[in-house]
Structure formats: structure tokens, C-alpha cells
């Protein structure tokens, strides 16, 4: 049967009908499957291949064409799933041909989509602020703290400064105490060494690490400690960062305060605490090119986890090249 590219094969229509009636798939899913089966049919028409005589080699070639059309790994995986499902249905239908008055529906021996896998999904790069954006955010926090001088704004400036200065996870930051506890029954998860300008935290896997704290961040932290120690809550908790009620600060509060601060700073993106960690790693790597040092400061068990920031570094270099090099845009436009 010769088909037009816009006309879906009767057996494909029958398959979609069964999915609708027996498996009760949603209209959205059926439409997606229909489009995927249409792609399969069009590839077969282009290569003059009978749909019922498609081989494993054909499927691999057509999956490659989907990839060349810049289809995502997720889309290709869904297409292969739709194709595999149809051919599975065909082989089962073929096996039941004796029960259907001897009518042979296909000559398939095996599913041609078996063992064909979609390309691996590329790991998305972590979102980091540019150096200018990070400084804008920190400067906004410090400016508000200097102008308002209240507990919350001064505390927020210390938090933002420390996140960007030392690349801490939010859980690590919130576990920091004003000083290391001497009570063996209440061991500190983390603490600040004010003289050494160094913070010690408890990271993933129960591993401790110490990270230096920059001068500007220490200034913000000292300003916060002065207000904190003068508050009525100072003796009730050893936690460094306290809420308005004197409790150890919650993750949700930090997230909300940072989001609000970013809006006031005019940043065009949603900012969350982990973005400050990504920004720290990316910017230190841009300056130092020392991957091992960044790995240690982030507390990554494997260098592979840190290497993703080299992609961000390359992205930064590419953008700088496009802006600065006199021949970067040669031939464009």
C-alpha cells in the first residue's frame, strides 16, 4: 500500500485506537505518539522501505536523522518508545493471525527497534550569575544593611556575602554556630573562626571542610555578630543566623529573602541560594584555573562533579571573545 506522507498507515491508526480504548491514554499522549509514528512512516517513504520490512539498521539511521534535526534526547527516546510499542503490537498481532481467519498482518520476526537507544541526555549546566550580577546583588544587600541597620537586613547582607565568598550549600550555612561548641552532647555542625577568617562546615557524607572567608564578607559578618550579640536572643541560641523569633534560620526564609533582594537589585533572573554556590565556583575557576582548589572548597568527593564548571568557564570566555575580539563577529549579520 502506497501512502501519502500525511496519511497515517491503517495499522498505525488501529494501534492508536487500541491505546485509546484499552489503555485509555490521554489525548495529549496519543497525539504525541501519532506524530512519532508519522515520523517513522515518512522516513520509510523517503528511503522507499516497506514499514513491515524495516530493519534495525533502518531504525538506527532514522534515530540519527532525528538527532541531526536537533531533537532533544527526551524527544528521541519518546519516538523510539512509540516505534517500539507499535512493532511490539504488530508482532503480537502477527502471532495471533490464526485466530483472525488466517490473515497475515506482517512478516516481522523481531522488533527492529530493539537495542536502539536514544543518545544520552546532556547534563544541564548549573545556572550561575555573571561576576557583574553577583557583585550587584551583594552590593545591594550591603547598601541596604548600611542604610537600615536593622537585624534582618544586616543578617541578610552577612548571609549573601558568605554564600558568595565561600561557596557554601544552604544546609551548611544554616548549620554554622557563632563558635565551636565545647559541649560533647551538642557538637556544632559548623562554626566560624573569627580570628582566622575561616568557616568550618559539615558537608555531604558527614565530611568536614574548612573554607576561607574573604575580607568584605568578614566585615558583613562582624556587623551582624555585633547586632546579634546585642539582641535579646543572643544567649538562647548558639546558631550564627537567627530568625526574627530567635530560632535558627530556616531554608525557606533565606530563599524568600534572597529572591526579594534580587528583585530589588534589578537582576533579570530568579536567584536562589545554590546559584550563589555555582557563581562562586565559576568565578573562582575563571580567575585561578585551579580545578583541584575549587573541588576542595566546594567539598566535592569527585573531581568530575567540579569539572562541569569548566563548561561555564568556557561559556564565559566565549562571551568575552564575542564582545572583545575585533574579528569575533566577522561574517555575521
Residue by residue, pLDDT tens for the chain (333 residues) are 344 445 889 999 999 999 988 888 888 889 999 999 999 999 999 999 999 889 988 998 898 888 878 788 888 999 999 999 999 998 887 666 544 545 545 556 689 998 888 776 656 667 889 999 999 999 999 999 999 999 999 999 999 999 999 999 999 999 999 998 877 667 889 999 999 999 999 998 889 999 999 999 999 999 999 999 998 888 888 999 999 889 999 999 999 999 999 999 999 889 999 999 999 998 888 888 888 898 999 999 888 888 777 765 545 544 544 455 454 444 444
Instruction: Quickly list DSSP for 68-132.
Output: HTT--HHHHHHHHHHHHHHHHHHHHHHHTGGGGTT------SS-TTTT--PPPPPPPPPP---HH
In-domain check, residue 59: yes
Catalytic positions, written as ranges: 169, 204, 274, 277, 300, 309
Give me the pLDDT at residue 330, please: 44
Give me the pLDDT at residue 235, please: 81
The CATH number of residue 291's host domain is 1.10.443.10
Give me the pLDDT at residue 176, please: 96
Q: Do 230 and 308 lie in a common domain?
A: yes
Spatial strand order of the sheet with 208-212 comes to 176-177, 190-193, 198-202, 208-212
SS3 265: coil
Per the CB < 8 A criterion, the answer to whether 172 and 202 are in contact is yes
d(CA 91, CA 186): 65
CA distances to 191, 201, 244, 316 from 198, in Å: 9, 10, 26, 29
* Per-residue pLDDT tens over the stretch 204-256: 888 999 999 999 999 999 999 999 999 888 888 899 999 988 999 999 999 99
Q: Do 201 and 326 lie in a common domain?
A: yes
The CATH number of residue 19's host domain is 1.10.150
d(CA 34, CA 12): 8
Q: Do 142 and 34 lie in a common domain?
A: no
Q: Do 14 and 160 lie in a common domain?
A: no
Q: Do 95 and 144 lie in a common domain?
A: no
Q: Do 138 and 247 lie in a common domain?
A: yes
d(CA 177, CA 266): 32
Amino acid at each position: 500500500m502506497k501512502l501519502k506522507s500525511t496519511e497515517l498507515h491503517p495499522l498505525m491508526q488501529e494501534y492508536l485506537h487500541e491505546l485509546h480504548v484499552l489503555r485509555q491514554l490521554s489525548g495529549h499522549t496519543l497525539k504525541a505518539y501519532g506524530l512519532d509514528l508519522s515520523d517513522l512512516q515518512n522516513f520509510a517513504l523517503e528511503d522507499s522501505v516497506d514499514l513491515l520490512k524495516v530493519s534495525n539498521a533502518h531504525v538506527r539511521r532514522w534515530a540519527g536523522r532525528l538527532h541531526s534535526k536537533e531533537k532533544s534526547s527526551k524527544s528521541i527516546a519518546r519516538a523510539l518508545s512509540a516505534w517500539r510499542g507499535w512493532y511490539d503490537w504488530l508482532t503480537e498481532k502477527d502471532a495471533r493471525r490464526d485466530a483472525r481467519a488466517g490473515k497475515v498482518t506482517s512478516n516481522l520476526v523481531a522488533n527492529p527497534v530493539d537495542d536502539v537507544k536514544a543518545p544520552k541526555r546532556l547534563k544541564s549546566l548549573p545556572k550561575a550569575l555573571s561576576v557583574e550580577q553577583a557583585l550587584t546583588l551583594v552590593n545591594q544587600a550591603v547598601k541596604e544593611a548600611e542604610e537600615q541597620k536593622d537585624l534582618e537586613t544586616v543578617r541578610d547582607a552577612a548571609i549573601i556575602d558568605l554564600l558568595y565568598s565561600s561557596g557554601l550549600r544552604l544546609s551548611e550555612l544554616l548549620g554554622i554556630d557563632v563558635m565551636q561548641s565545647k559541649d560533647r552532647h551538642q557538637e556544632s555542625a559548623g562554626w566560624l573562626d573569627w580570628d582566622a577568617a575561616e568557616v568550618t562546615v559539615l558537608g555531604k557524607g558527614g565530611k568536614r571542610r574548612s573554607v576561607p572567608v574573604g575580607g568584605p564578607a568578614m566585615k558583613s559578618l562582624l556587623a551582624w555578630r555585633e547586632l546579634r550579640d546585642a539582641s535579646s536572643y543572643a544567649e538562647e541560641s548558639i546558631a550564627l543566623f537567627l530568625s526574627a523569633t530567635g530560632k535558627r534560620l530556616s531554608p525557606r526564609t533565606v530563599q524568600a529573602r534572597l529572591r526579594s533582594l534580587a528583585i530589588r537589585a534589578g537582576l533579570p533572573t530568579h536567584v536562589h541560594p545554590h546559584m550563589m554556590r555555582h557563581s562562586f565556583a565559576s568565578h573562582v575557576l575563571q580567575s585561578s584555573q585551579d580545578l583541584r582548589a575549587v573541588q576542595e572548597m566546594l567539598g566535592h568527593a569527585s573531581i568530575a562533579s567540579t569539572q562541569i564548571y569548566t563548561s561555564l568557564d568556557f561559556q564565559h570566555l566565549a562571551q568575552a571573545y564575542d564582545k572583545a575580539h575585533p574579528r569575533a563577529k566577522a561574517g555575521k549579520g
